[in-house]
Amino acid sequence: METSELEQELSTPDYVKEYHEIPALREDKEITLKVVKKIGTFLEYASERLKNDREVVMTAITSEAEGLISPWEILNGKALLFASDELRSDREFMIEVLQKNPNALEYATDELKNDKDIVTEVVESYGFALKYASDELKNDKEVVLKAVKNNGVALEFASERLRDDKEIIIEAWRSLRECFD
């Protein structure tokens, strides 16, 4: 099948059914890239080999972002759920993923959700991601301060102890107030 024919086929709703039902399609990298670029969560149906392919997984994760002004506000990173455990455990790969889609922290391994460096970097740019951090980091004042400075609503996800911390409450208030200035 020529590339233009393939693109034409993939522009019709039937390609979804075909991709899901025909194993040879799920093993083909070119076809899988085109499918997951349109619907990232179709990574679920890709072959195990392609679920471990960095390019395929990154395409699936970033596909949701096309055409959006603030993609991290509405993306959930669910495509990452279907990536191989090996990729989801790969620290460098996950740093790249989280820079593109901070909500993907929800589907990271527990080890990465407890990695202070990674979580700190994520919550500095997207405080709401504190929701997906480990309980230990939700109780870490430094991490929570960075989260609430970015988005005061992140206070909701801090540990009970830190939700009562005066400095954190003040920073959360400042962050929320800036939204209305």
Domain ranges of the chain: 1-113, 123-181
The pLDDT value recorded for residue 38 is 85
The pLDDT value recorded for residue 126 is 95
93: Cβ contacts below 8 Å, ≥ 6 apart: 54, 57, 87
Instruction: For 43-99, write each residue's pLDDT tens digit.
Output: 999 999 999 999 999 999 887 555 444 444 445 578 889 999 999 999 999 999 999
The pLDDT value recorded for residue 30 is 94
- Residue 67 tokens read as 């055409």
End-to-end CA distance of the chain: 56
The pLDDT value recorded for residue 100 is 87
Distance CA 136, CA 64 (A): 30
Query: Is the pLDDT higher at 104 or at 71?
Result: 104
Instruction: For 121-180, write each residue's pLDDT tens digit.
Output: 999 999 999 999 999 999 999 999 999 999 999 999 999 999 999 999 999 999 988 777
